[in-house]
Structure 1
Amino acid sequence: MSEQPAVEDLLARSHRLGADPTTTNYAGGNTSAKGAAIDPVTGREVELLWVKGSGGDLGTLTEKGLAVLRLDRMRALVDVYPGVEREDEMVAAFDYCLHGKGGAAPSIDTAMHGLVDAPHVDHLHPDSGIAIATAADGERLTETIFGDQVVWVPWRRPGFQLGLDIAEIKAANPQAKGCILGGHGITAWGETSEEAEKNSRWIIDTAAAHIAEHGDPEPLGPVVAAYEPLPEAERHARAAALAPVVRGLASTDQHQIGHYNDGEAVLEFLSREKLGVLAALGTSCPDHFLRTKVRPLVVDLPATAPLADVVARLKELHAEYRQEYRAYYERHATPDSPPMRGADPAIVLVPGIGMFSFGKDKQTARVAGEFYVNAINVMRGAEALSTYAPIPESEKFRIEYWALEEAKLRRMPAPKPLAGRIALVTGAGSGIGKAIAERLAAEGACVAVADLNADAAAEVATGIGGSDKAIAVTANVTDRDAVQSAVDATALAFGGIDLVVNNAGLSISKPLLETTEQDWDLQHDVMAKGSFLVSQAAVRAMIDQAMGGDIIYISSKNSVFAGPNNVAYGATKADQAHQVRLLAAELGEHGIRVNGVNPDGVVRGSGIFAGGWGAQRAAVYGVAEEDLGAFYAQRTLLKREVLPEHIAAAVFALTSGELTRTTGLHVPVDSGVVGAFLR
């Protein structure tokens, strides 16, 4: 807990405001508080500003996420401000105003908070407020809705001058509670934290009430019958089929993770007559278009069009989008502009199906989609009262390719080896599969944890970190429909699939004469047939993505080593081992690499060994079951027990990008079993 009551109040207010996505979205907006503290150098009281730092999120803000600045030094910057042409220099100047270590990096909006003469300031991006801010007659609407309680501020790029403008408005309008910032959002203030929050909410609620009472009930135009939503089951099936295609296109420049949204607001927007016109105008609030790009890609076919036609049209539209984005860059770029970052869309809208959003990871993709939902709400509100009129394209470019935005991107940590990749691991509820799922996620991958045991899969997925990192999928790998459902769920959750680990299995240890036909069929159904079905379903998605991929089979040293009382298990492992070679030979032309890992005797943590296999193998070798792991270790060259994490390490090594020219390989992870040497 902070020693500063002002900070405690600020954090509590920030959390409340940040919890409502219609008030401000993830990492959007900022809040501040002013107060006094003792300068440890002089022992005297000094005025400080605590303000949300660059890149922080109101809903999860902590004291470490606040920038802390001395107000006397910050206000002194007014005297040295060189003007809007050298605006960017002022962010660097904030570093000379920091108190102590200063906390988080100050954001571009710091001036707004420091220069406005109020102890508490909120700058937010509420849907209703931006609707007024982006209306063609927003200034008139501001006066009509709020009287002299809220003042209109014409569009100005965030920065020091905007802070000066708002400070001047506050001084000239002592009765005002806040401002509508043209094309952007709102700013409100108060003498106390409670008053600032009350004023923010009053502006938001008053705008929303006015839109609801006075707005056109159909601001997006009439429904277009051909664009109406498909029934849910059909909609999700088609979305799952399209997701890998869309993700592959959106990943032309860089691997992206996807997010699918078919919420009511999205489907309604996609079904309305004004879809094309409004989508082409793009978003307006800087926080919106920095995440959604200047505009979305919109598919212009009916929801019931044949899937092949939609795919073909998507590819045409994607090529056009890339050309148009490059033209946008070239229209506005100057010699000092950062290089073009990528020409692929971040938002793809498919009428009747929903919205696909993309980002470098799942959270970024999800947040991009959430911001576009905010943009839809803004367009609806602006059109209800007036005409939606976002800021000019040239201004969008100045912010998208702002040197300060580029600097923020460069401060981000380097991506992990598997960032941007999507994995499906079968049999991941325990043992080897669990270790593999956890390792892949730790290295940056999004993971679908598939297991016959739904509770076990859910526990592993939760332990990995929730739906932005992992999902649980119930999957019986012997059932074609269940396997397809698992692949579809992976595609809907993350956009597609890049990496499959065929790990699901069981083991039956019996002599030949005691092995029943049922034993044989069960063993082969789960591992030989199951691996085939999973690979087949995943490869369809991988080919649609056109991004290559990896398939890993967790085979066994028993695939090459013949031991007693093991005919069903050993034969099916040999089947899996040869599937590796066969698929490597077939799928190379698609950039799909197929490799295997051959473990030996992974006893600890194994669901297979705990399920009776351990007792059976211990009986074969004449040792106590609890000594089986040590027994296996002693018969190896290294005399070391093999654990689930060792298998996971081999999977990571094969898929991390270091072995890009390797396919058809089996990697022994057995501490050295001479009889299982590959030859």
Structure 2
Amino acid sequence: MSNSPAELVARSNRLGADPRNTNFAGGNTSAKGTDVDPVTGKDVELLWVKGSGGDLGTLTEAGLAVLRLDRVRALVDVYPGVEREDEMVAAFDYCLHGRGGAAPSIDTAMHGLVDAAHVDHLHPDAGIAFATAADGPARTAECFGDRVRWVPWRRPGFQLGLDIAEIRRAHPEAIGVILGGHGITAWGETSAECEAHALEIIETADRFIRAHGRPEPFGPVLPGYEPLPPAERRERAAQLAPVLRGLASTDRPQVGHFTDSDEVLDFVSRREHPRLAALGTSCPDHFLRTKVAPMVLDLPPTAPLADTVARLRELHAAYRKDYAGYYHRHADADSPAMRGADPAVVLVPGVGMFTFGATKQTARVAGEFYVNAINVMRGAEALSSYAPIDESEKFRIEYWALEEAKLARLPKPKPLAARIALVTGAGSGIGRAIAHRLAAEGACVVVADRDTAAADRVATELGGPDVAVAVTADVTDPAAVGGMVRAAALAFGGVDLVVNNAGLSVSKPLLETTEADWDLQHDVMSKGSFLVAQHGARLMIEQGMGGDIVYIASKNSVFAGPNNVAYSAAKAAQAHQVRLLAAELGEHGIKVNGINPDGVVRGSGIFAGGWGAQRAAVYGVPETELGAYYAQRTLLKREVLPEHVANAVFVLTAGELAHTTGLHIPVDAGVAAAFLR
């Protein structure tokens, strides 16, 4: 077998690892070679090409589509013309070789028809700067001479592959092309040569812009629009994030991402940023994720918060109206329905950029793509002026039937998709189990715990920053609780689901219980739950998206047991907070419910910290048998585990109990004395 696939994957990974070469999931690479046809036993020419939806930086051989080269090239004879070129994507399926492999992408024709053993199609910022410059053809000739040719804008597809193949045939001295409005394509007879040609185009373009581009292409800094100092900037971002997330979720819930990189802060401080932002992005990979244009705040960062929020609401209403106008200007009877009129990118001068998507990853990637777009605009404006593809062409791609089909193939969202959960005491035991269950059901999770190492460990277990972030917080400290909620806003855009789980216990008779014992337990569970609920509810109200608050109380909130006065009284206070807050927050669409577990021994931080030994002594059993003892006193004779409590949290928050608030669910395997009355 040819070593083409292994070489191709290695080359792709190198190119995809450097953001100067291409963006996440952008571009594609290919190699041609031979393998043995298992039917005939003879060599057959094959095309290996990155499949639809893959990412070069993380590509593996499983992400390659493998096609018979003779059949791909034979499609030229049945090509029905540019008006029906979308039909050719389905024809690629009849060119596949063997079983498995990725689905062929729209760019397969480019790779199969170009007469070169290796082809790279990339979206480098420097290359797209040439591709979107008003005088792109002239600047391309000036920079590259005959070595790189210009291809006028054409939507990705079979005809673009034919166009590039013809340039390759007519200009054998060329190493690649600049694709108007789009990116670059390079080729070579070996994998190393192809990679070298792609990098040569990118580096030559970058050097030319730096050597010949005009300074300050975005214009001078607007007075008053300079970035706020870092601490003030992030404070303002945390205040605005839930408001913006609520606005961006008007059509469907979204997760947020915040970026205050130097590129963003410089762009939104400059005089030309409103004009350039209104022009939108150009590369299809960019605007499919950022929408046709961002929403841009037109106030300085020192404007009063109330004025800023009011103006954002006005701009959002105008954005939705403008987007609907864009849709109706270009839609026809065959166009897919409008997918939503909310912005995916919001630019706030002096503060940064907020981006939104169905998941944290899509929100983050949208931000990365808009930074790419800023770099493109800077380069194009330095060369001449930024001239992206026409609005009508953007619409053709955004509402392309092939794009709609790709969206339809996405898996069904999980029950808690786009929901953001904040779980206190999540570093171990019940809290850790809840965090795991919520993340498994699609939620983004803020893992809050007093133990930094434990919180970090759980956040890593859940999958890292696109799924979970760790926050160190003592729930008895109002400032720490405020910081915890602000961290959730900065990480994911807000909070939808608060789980008051942090707790501890000291088991002592009344006469041995000290004032310090009482205060500690009430500070953590009664006061701590109050503070977390207060801060969480305030943010939820700002979002305007409703929400859930769940208290992990205890059967001890209603069951009177010996030697437990401080703990049980604190749990009873939590249980009544559930009823009080359910009555108060219902008008905001916020449900408040509680869970009353029996003693959860296995995996519990409380029991491991001495509570288990104390309770075992009360009941006269060895500590190692405490779980079994608890189980035998229940009606079901079953031990309660952290996962059982997590199951109850999921049931309360996944949507099936949308009309349930003020409820306490026993998770105690049946303790008759704790039945609710």
Name the TM tier (shorter chain): over 0.9
What is the match of residue 95 of structure 2? 97
Secondary structure at the counterpart of residue 583 of structure 1 = helix
What is the match of residue 40 of structure 2? 42
1:578 corresponds to which of 576, 579, 599: 576
What is the match of residue 210 of structure 1? 208
Equivalence map 1:366-515=2 (5 Å): 366-515=364-513
1:64 corresponds to which of 44, 62, 65: 62
Shift of 1:44: 1.1
What is the match of residue 567 of structure 1? 565
Secondary structure at the counterpart of residue 101 of structure 1 = coil
Cα distance in 1 between the residues matched to 2:311 and 2:110? 46
Secondary structure at the counterpart of residue 349 of structure 1 = strand
2:574 aligned with 1:592? no
Q: State whether residues 359 and 368 of structure 1, in contact with CA within 8 Å, keep that contact through their aligned partners in structure 2.
A: yes
2:243 aligned with 1:241? no
What is the match of residue 194 of structure 1? 192
Cα distance in 1 between the residues matched to 2:230 and 2:70? 59
Q: State whether residues 282 and 294 of structure 1, in contact with CA within 8 Å, keep that contact through their aligned partners in structure 2.
A: yes
Cα distance in 1 between the residues matched to 2:171 and 2:277? 37
Cα distance in 1 between the residues matched to 2:99 and 2:254? 36
Cα distance in 1 between the residues matched to 2:218 and 2:257? 24
Shift of 1:140: 0.1
2:659 aligned with 1:658? no
Partner AA of 1:8 in structure 2:
A
Q: State whether residues 22 and 374 of structure 1, in contact with CA within 8 Å, keep that contact through their aligned partners in structure 2.
A: no
Partner AA of 1:80 in structure 2:
V
Deviation per CA, 1:148-179: give whole Å up to 9, x if none: 00000000000000000000000000000000
Partner AA of 2:206 in structure 1:
A
What is the match of residue 221 of structure 1? 219
Cα distance in 1 between the residues matched to 2:345 and 2:392? 20
Cα distance in 2 between the residues matched to 1:194 and 1:363? 32
Cα distance in 2 between the residues matched to 1:5 and 1:176? 26
Deviation per CA, 1:477-521: give whole Å up to 9, x if none: 000000010000111000100000000000011111111111000
Structure 1 window deviating more from structure 2 (17-26 vs 406-415): it is 17-26
Partner AA of 1:405 in structure 2:
E
Partner AA of 2:497 in structure 1:
L
What is the match of residue 292 of structure 2? 294
Shift of 1:216: 1.1
Shift of 1:22: 2.2
What is the match of residue 308 of structure 1? 306
Shift of 1:227: 1.1
Q: State whether residues 179 and 187 of structure 1, in contact with CA within 8 Å, keep that contact through their aligned partners in structure 2.
A: yes
What is the match of residue 118 of structure 2? 120
TM-score (normalizing by structure 1) = 0.99
Shift of 1:21: 1.6
2:620 aligned with 1:622? yes
Cα distance in 2 between the residues matched to 1:4 and 1:625? 64
Cα distance in 2 between the residues matched to 1:48 and 1:477? 61
What is the match of residue 639 of structure 1? 637
Shift of 1:405: 0.2
Q: State whether residues 118 and 190 of structure 1, in contact with CA within 8 Å, keep that contact through their aligned partners in structure 2.
A: yes
Equivalence map 1:519-534=2 (5 Å): 519-534=517-532
What is the match of residue 330 of structure 2? 332
Partner AA of 2:8 in structure 1:
L
Shift of 1:103: 1.1
Shift of 1:560: 0.4
Cα distance in 2 between the residues matched to 1:599 and 1:268? 53
Cα distance in 1 between the residues matched to 2:2 and 2:54? 20
Shift of 1:102: 5.0
1:550 corresponds to which of 526, 537, 548: 548
Shift of 1:55: 0.5
Deviation per CA, 1:181-240: give whole Å up to 9, x if none: 000000000011111110000000000000001111100000012211000000000100
Runs of 4+ in 1 over 3 A off after TM superposition: none
In structure 2, the gaps of 5 or more residues are: none
1:82 corresponds to which of 77, 80, 85: 80
2:512 aligned with 1:517? no
Secondary structure at the counterpart of residue 134 of structure 2 = coil
2:45 aligned with 1:13? no
Shift of 1:80: 0.5
What is the match of residue 675 of structure 1? 673
Deviation per CA, 1:443-466: give whole Å up to 9, x if none: 000000000000000000001111
Percent identity, aligned pairs only, is 77
Partner AA of 1:107 in structure 2:
S
Deviation per CA, 1:645-668: give whole Å up to 9, x if none: 000000000001110000000000
Alignment length, in residue pairs? 677
Partner AA of 1:210 in structure 2:
F
Cα distance in 1 between the residues matched to 2:134 and 2:316? 31
Q: State whether residues 69 and 102 of structure 1, in contact with CA within 8 Å, keep that contact through their aligned partners in structure 2.
A: no
Partner AA of 1:443 in structure 2:
E
Partner AA of 1:586 in structure 2:
E
Shift of 1:101: 1.9
Cα distance in 1 between the residues matched to 2:395 and 2:20? 25
The verdict on how the C-alpha distance between 1:637 and 1:158 changes in structure 2, with shifts beyond 3 A counting, is same
Shift of 1:4: 4.2
Cα distance in 1 between the residues matched to 2:129 and 2:122? 13
Secondary structure at the counterpart of residue 421 of structure 2 = strand
Cα distance in 2 between the residues matched to 1:339 and 1:24? 31
Equivalence map 1:121-140=2 (5 Å): 121-140=119-138
Cα distance in 2 between the residues matched to 1:340 and 1:102? 34
What is the match of residue 649 of structure 1? 647
What is the match of residue 273 of structure 1? 271
CA RMSD, aligned part only?
0.6
Deviation per CA, 1:54-93: give whole Å up to 9, x if none: 1010011111111110010110000000001001100001
Q: State whether residues 428 and 504 of structure 1, in contact with CA within 8 Å, keep that contact through their aligned partners in structure 2.
A: yes
Cα distance in 1 between the residues matched to 2:19 and 2:316? 30
Cα distance in 2 between the residues matched to 1:403 and 1:352? 39
What is the match of residue 360 of structure 1? 358
Q: State whether residues 190 and 196 of structure 1, in contact with CA within 8 Å, keep that contact through their aligned partners in structure 2.
A: yes
Shift of 1:373: 0.1
Secondary structure at the counterpart of residue 500 of structure 1 = strand
Cα distance in 2 between the residues matched to 1:102 and 1:387? 46
Partner AA of 1:625 in structure 2:
E
Secondary structure at the counterpart of residue 100 of structure 1 = coil
Deviation per CA, 1:309-368: give whole Å up to 9, x if none: 110000000000000000000000010000000000000000000000011101100000
Shift of 1:5: 1.1
Partner AA of 2:412 in structure 1:
A
What is the match of residue 605 of structure 1? 603
Shift of 1:26: 1.0
Cα distance in 1 between the residues matched to 2:241 and 2:193? 46
